Structure 1
Amino acid sequence: MQHDAFIGQVQARARLDSRGAAEAFTRATLETVAERINPDLADDLAAQLPQEIGENVRRVTDQYDPTERFGQDEFVDRVAVRAHADRSQASFAARAVFEVLDDATTNVMPKVRGGLPEDLRRFTLAGSSGGT
């Protein structure tokens, strides 16, 4: 999937009013995922994404210990802070990003989910139509 298609899908699924907002939520979600998964898995994920989007993952794994332990609440809080949004909007948009990640990658998202705690794993599978 190309960059423009990825961002367009996030914008549509998250019902965002601009591509800029879709970019911000994509970046925020991927940076937060990268903090939570191991570096090798983060590299695998980044390699399957358009370069501009994959850089959001690589940038974090190059700077931080990507094996922090946190669940769904902290995940949503971090996305909200990074995207300058409220928790409800961050939750909805992050789920949309996960939906697009499922469509844009091959065989890596089950591995990503496998490294997450149960509450966060369920969150990533809920789809953007789920609640917060």
Structure 2
Amino acid sequence: MDFDEFTGEVQHRLDMPGTGETVRAIRATLTTLGQRIPEGNAADLAASLPLEIKWYLTGPVAEHGQRFDWQEFVTRVAEIEGADPADAAYHARVIMDVVQSQVPESDFSQLREMLPESEDTENWGSLFEVVDGER
């Protein structure tokens, strides 16, 4: 899948009006995810993605491996995307489903293992609701 196909798939699934909004949502989600996970894991996850998409995970990220929870993830994504937090959370879930369809299962499993589940109703498992819903 190339950049146009990837963004087209996300745009279609999110019913976004334009490519600009779609790219902003993808960038917000993957840049924030790149901040959360270790650099090597970000590179592994990005390896199967289009070059332009890889960059969001592995490019000039402020710092890889930061420790923040699901709520902080949503807040950061919403801020970068310029969206309501509920919309940003949904966008992130759909984007992760498209990412999951492009990367090896082992890399996606590693990602899931890095993002801890908790007893809270709002935890990292929320990021994978769309992925899990299709299984």
TM-score, normalised by the number of residues in structure 2: 0.87
State the one-letter code of the partner of 2:75.
D
1:85 partner SS:
coil
Deviation at 1:41, TM superposition (A): 0.5
1:12-23 mapped onto 2 (5 Å cutoff): 12-23=12-23
> Is 1:39 equivalent to 2:42 in the alignment?
no
Q: Is the 8 A contact 2:34 2:42 kept in 1?
A: yes
State the one-letter code of the partner of 1:39.
E
Unaligned runs of 5+ in 1: none
Q: Is the 8 A contact 1:34 1:66 kept in 2?
A: yes
Q: Is the 8 A contact 2:89 2:127 kept in 1?
A: no
Aligned counterpart, 2:111:
112
1:46-85 mapped onto 2 (5 Å cutoff): 46-61=46-61, 64-85=62-83
Deviation at 1:102, TM superposition (A): 0.7
Aligned counterpart, 2:130:
127
1:22-50: CA deviations, max 9, x gaps?
Answer: 10010000001101111111111121110
Please give the alpha-carbon distance, in whole angstroms, between the structure 2 residues aligned to 1:60 and 1:70: 19
- Aligned sequence identity (%): 34
Q: Is the 8 A contact 1:35 1:60 kept in 2?
A: no
Moved beyond 2 Å, runs of 4+: none
Unaligned runs of 5+ in 2: 118-122
Please give the alpha-carbon distance, in whole angstroms, between the structure 1 residues aligned to 2:116 and 2:8: 29
1:73-128: CA deviations, max 9, x gaps?
Answer: 111110000111111110111111001001111121111111012111x1121118
Q: Is the 8 A contact 1:35 1:65 kept in 2?
A: yes
> Is 1:89 equivalent to 2:92 in the alignment?
no
TM-score, normalised by the number of residues in structure 1: 0.89
